[in-house]
Structure 1
Amino acid sequence: MLLLYIDPGTGSMLFSIIIGLVTMLYFVAKAALIKVKFFLTGGKAVASNKNRYPFVIYSESERYWSVFKPILDAFEKRQISVMYFTSAEKDPFFSNPYSYINGEFIGEGNKAFTRLNFLEADICLMTTPGLDVYQLKRSRGVKHYAHVLHSVADATSYRLFGLDYFDSVFLSGTYQEAHIRILEEQRGIAKKELVVVGCTYLDMLNQQLSTFEPDENHLFTVLVAPSWGSNGILSKYGERLLDPLVETGFQIIVRPHPQSIQSEKAVLERLQRRYASSSNLEWNYSRENIGTLFRSDIMISDFSGVIFDYSFLLDRPFLYVNANFDDRPYDGGSIDEEPWKFKILPEIGVELIESSFPTIKEVLLDTVQNETLTKNRLQAKETAWQFRGHSGEKIVDYLAAKQKELGL
């Protein structure tokens, strides 16, 4: 019996080729059918397509709910119909009733991409990068693709070609524009419409924070919130960092990245066994991170974007570990200039080096009392998070105007 093995990369490429051919044939056949109907009816109007949507929003995960909710709320307020497709079967959308927003679970992975590749809509908005690069293709039935960033860090933080084939991109700050323009020039691709709108998910989290009240029995708390992978804090340092943290006597919360549960399972299991009897260390895996951020007085992270969420929302200090980040697989690696997020880190945070682990208690307390960091955090916030509280409205302003401009 002959067994044929196809590696995941080749499989993705084959799927991309096949689905591209199928969608092309679908739309060619549909166009031909419309012409035949037009001819047979003597040039009279052809029936409208009931499967075409004015606006479609696609969410690939329930963790992006905070990105889309302010946008959906703004659409709802204006009584504009929207179709919300999601790859999360338990998307919070389904427990948030809307009158003008309809939602549908369309599956995950290739199943979702197939549905989207045959999509017919005036405008499609998503956070998913890599449009027209791999499996997720530009549908011939969609007139305009828009992307909304889910981070206040550089827009070039995506994997290669992440934003290249979108028609418009919503930015959190003006500073993100320059590097996108450099990539467009380098690659000879069409210029996108870049619209500074602020940050939807920070707006939503900021609203949630207003409902929180301080704990009267609060203990000084350190949050360890790493990224995942070999350069993340837990894999790189593990007990070498956590041991001295536990010895400080402070309350320690370790919140692993969601991907760590799959990618660093052995590391997590080893560390959880080691600190099972440590009364001042807890593990946090909750879907929402805002409550955990609020409980802490200072955070330790690496190259995770959560450092900006923490700094901008709560105006609290953080330590970061320089993980010697390899930017070659990312769009930022194609630009000679250093990304903003790496330039700003030394100004708004304190780098934690391994030789300082034995004196981690003193480092933490000194960082909390550093007034220069407080001033710099405010300036960085003004740069990266503009139009605070109005991002959803500004996005809908643009999308509604764009639909009218295109004559749709």
Structure 2
Amino acid sequence: MGYITELLGIPLGALLSVCFLAVRNYGIAIAVFTALTKVILFPVSMWVQRNSIKMVQLTPELNQLKLKYYGDKDTIAEETQVLYKRENYHPLASTIPMFIQLILLIGVIGAVRGMLEGEDNTILVQIPSEVGGAALLMPLAAGGAALLLGLAQNHLNPLQREQGKAEQWMTNGFSIAISLVLGAFVPLGVGIYWICSNLFTILQQIILNTVIPPKKYIDYEALEKSRQELAKISSLGGKRSKEEKQREKADYKRFFSIANKHLVFYSERSGFYKYFENVIDYLLNHSNVTIHYITSDPKDAIFQKAAEQPRIKPYYIGERRLITLMMKMDADMVVMTMTDLENFHIKRSYIRKDAEYVYMFHAPLSFIMTLRDGALDHYDTIFCTGKGQVEEIRKSEEIYHLPQKKIIECGYGVIENMRKHYLENEARYKNQEVKKILIAPSWQEDNILDSCLDQILQSSLRDGWQIIVRPHPEYVKRYGARWNVLLEKYKDIPESCLILQTDFSSNETVYSADVLVSDWSGIAFEYAFATRKPVLSINTPMKVSNPNYAKVIPQPLNLTLRSEIGVQLEPDAADQAGRVLAEMLDHAEDYERKIAQLTDEYLYNMGKSGEIGGAYILQSLQKKIQSRKNSGQ
């Protein structure tokens, strides 16, 4: 190291001597020398500036790669290298100034020693850690200059300003620590050089930003948008316990340890099993296929069911790790109720391009208002509950020039199971001593609870009627304070007249109700078709996720059938609810006959959805297996 120091010190010493001859002051000479090195190396600094800007330019595309292959570190690394090569970006270029500074520092140590050799009267050859005293101010000054540089670079350097706060302070902390050490263990003259170098770097960065302005080349709007999208994905699933993380990791590994998976179901949370239930029961009773069931709910009831049914293999995979799992999906068929496949973070498998993706609806009749445009475009097969959905799918394909999906006229298991339960207990429900009115609104803004509950109750509380208010669980979760106000407001009304339901573990209040009052909740049609009883629909502001729905179907069934299964009221006429409910109760038998006809007309294959859906799955899987055998795979 001593030889290298002396060798580098020769040319730098010559330059430092020239500076001294010009100013006749060792400290000022070192400062002038430092400024000259910045000028000489300015072309290198310009190259680094361009490279830094290029890195920031590429960041939105890099973030999109992280979104596309979220969690797949190997693929992200491979795609990143492809991007760097395409754009001629050199990721190590940002380290060049550090190496140049290191080389210069070694040379400066030799140059200062050489210039000051024999100059016993100067303190610049003293080392603070050896002499102590006032000399120990040097490390503090060097650390302060490094801190000042770091703060300036956080705002001025095009690459450093885009780093996260933690990364910025890690970079700055390292620089400050190095400066403190150098200031303490090298000659004071070298410390002066280091301080000047840091301060001149701030000025140099200002000049660079003037010569090559970052705003001219960087799309900061696109950068921020990509950052927000990545942050949104990174926050999926919220906080989890250590046990849940370990469990997820083990289930992820177990899922991919099984080869030749044929069938996978994915459930967003525990309650979604009811949409798959009839199909899964058919598969269990009519085949030997193994059902791999992925859920993002660690408390999903499927784990209890799987303990009794060995052919169901459950896995807990959180929303973030699900992104990677879905990209690497290695099954013949994936059945889901999740919309927007490919449109957001959940993608089709890039491992199995031939995997068939099947969508199952979790609401009857119409979807065109509630699902975004393109929400089902990337599914291969749709299990439809009724002809309204088929019409909407085919019209969308025609208008938007989409390839035709395979449609299975399946039916709706949820209503089938509700109907079965109701018939098994029909006598009890029809022979109740009092008439029961169930108010079951949606949780969207301006729902019944927030807009007209008082008017409905004031007009409907009477002898012989019991009114049950059953909020949507999501309403209680999101707007707990509002719900608590209602509980307090009506606490003195006896339960024989009014119940505000807080326990949602049972659906008995749904089955036992003689009339349902709702707004836009999906329970309305499920209740009507399962019990053949009418619905009073309050036309609160409608939540429309697809503003373009009228291009496909001007009047979706969920609008036109509201008056067929009962009566509609505007919120400002809610004080007429009691009178309307009385009329509906008087015509209960008429509604029963009419709703039965509507059920037969608009729902497919009542009582057979599990058989039809399950038979299709088995047939499709068999074709895929046979096709692989024929091709020798």
| 1:106 counterpart = 2:317 | yes
Contact 1:60 1:86 in 2 (8 A): yes
State which of 398, 414, 422 in structure 2 corresponds to 1:209: 422
374, 383, 392: which one aligns with 1:161: 374
Is residue 2:461 matched to residue 1:246?
Answer: yes
Are positions 1:225 and 2:440 aligned together?
yes
1:237 matched residue in structure 2: 452
Q: Alignment partner for residue 517 of structure 2, among 297, 300, 317?
A: 300
* Preserved CA contact (<8 Å) 1:327 1:333: no
User: How big is each residue's C-alpha offset from its partner over 1:312-335, in whole Å with a ceiling of 9 and x where there is no partner?
Assistant: 111111100112425353663542
Q: Distance in 1 between matches of 2:544 and 2:418?
A: 29
1:52-90 residue CA offsets vs partner (Å, 9 max, x unmatched): 410000011212121112121111112211101112222
| Percent identity between the two aligned chains | 23
Q: For the aligned residues, what is the CA RMSD?
A: 2.8
Q: Counterparts of 1:7-406 in structure 2 under 5 Å?
A: 17-21=65-69, 26=75, 50-77=258-285, 78-96=287-305, 97-107=308-318, 109-142=319-352, 143-156=355-368, 157-212=370-425, 214=428, 218-247=433-462, 250-279=465-494, 280-287=497-504, 290-327=507-544, 329=546, 332-354=549-571, 356-370=573-587, 372-406=590-624
Displacement of 1:339 in angstroms is 0.5
Counterpart-to-counterpart distance in 1, 2:576 and 2:565: 21
Structure-1 separation of matches of 2:454 and 2:356 = 49
What is the CA–CA distance in structure 1 between the aligned matches of 2:76 and 2:397, rounded to whole Å? Answer: 29
Specify which structure has the higher proportion of strand: 1
Q: Bigger shift: 215-224 or 316-325?
A: 215-224
Superimposed CA distance per residue, residues 110-169 of structure 1 (whole angstroms, 9 cap, x where no aligned partner): 233333232211100011111111111111234110001111121323233221110000
How many angstroms apart in 2 are the aligned matches of 1:193 and 1:378? 29
Greater relative contact order (CA < 8 Å, ≥ 6 in sequence)? 1
The whole-number CA distance in structure 1 between the counterparts of 2:524 and 2:462 is 24
Deviating more after overlay: 186-195 vs 112-121 = 112-121
Of 236-245 and 384-393, the range deviating more from structure 2:
236-245
SS of aligned partner of 2:297: coil
Question: How has the CA–CA distance of structure 1 residues 73 and 15 changed in structure 2, closer, same or farther, with 3 Å as cutoff?
Answer: farther
The change in CA–CA distance for 1:330 and 1:146 in structure 2 (over 3 A counts) is farther
The CA deviation at 1:245 is 3.0
Kept in 2, the 8 Å contact 1:171–1:195? The answer is yes
Q: CA deviation at 1:381?
A: 0.7
> In structure 2, how many angstroms separate the alpha carbons of the residues matched to 1:262 and 1:111?
25
DSSP 3-state at the match of 2:416: helix
Deviation at 1:259, TM superposition (A): 1.4
Structure 1 position 234, deviation (Å): 0.9
Contact 2:327 2:348 (8 Å CA) reproduced = yes
The code of the aligned residue for 1:224 comes to I
Distance in 1 (CA, whole Å) between partners of 2:517 and 2:601 is 23
Q: Retained in 1: the 8 A contact 2:600–2:606? A: no
Stretches of structure 2 that go unaligned for 5 or more consecutive residues are 1-60, 79-255, 629-633
Judge conservation of contact 1:248–1:361 (CA < 8 Å) in 2: no
Q: 1:243: how far off?
A: 3.3
Cα distance per residue 1:339-392 (max 9 Å; x no partner): 111011112210123454444332111012235533431222112322111111
Cα separation, partners in 2 of 1:359 and 1:174, compared to 1, 3 Å: closer
In structure 2, the CA distance between the partners of 1:290 and 1:150, relative to structure 1 (3 Å rule), is same
1:294 aligned partner, one-letter code: Y
The more displaced of 137-146 and 352-361 is 352-361
* Equivalent position SS for 2:402: coil
Paired amino acid for 1:395: G
User: What is the rounded CA distance, in whole Å, between the counterparts of 1:201 and 1:16 in structure 2?
Assistant: 39
For residues 252-274 of structure 1, the C-alpha deviation after alignment (integer angstroms, 9 at most, x for no partner) is 11111121123332321211110
Give the distance between the partners of 2:63 and 2:337, measured in 1 at CA.
Answer: 22
* 2:386–2:409 contact (8 Å) kept in structure 1: yes
C-alpha displacement of 1:170: 0.2
Name the CA shift for 1:321/1:381 in 2 (closer, same or farther; >3 Å). same
TM-score (norm 2): 0.55
Distance in 1 separating the partners of 2:442 and 2:604 = 26
Q: Which has the larger radius of gyration?
A: 2
Deviation at 1:189, TM superposition (A): 2.6
Q: Size of the alignment, in residue pairs?
A: 377
Structure 1 residue runs without a partner (length 5+) = 1-12, 30-47
Deviations 1:223-252 (A, max 9, x none): 001011223111222323333333566211
CA contact (8 A) 1:227 1:302 kept: yes
Greater share of helix residues, 1 or 2? 2
User: What SS does the corresponding residue of 2:468 show, helix, strand or coil?
Assistant: strand
Does the 8 A contact of 2:267 with 2:336 survive in 1? yes
The alpha-carbon distance between structure 1 residues 330 and 249, as it changes in their structure 2 partners (threshold 3 A), is: farther
The list of structure 1 runs, each at least 4 consecutive aligned residues, that deviate by more than 6 angstroms after superposition, is 13-16
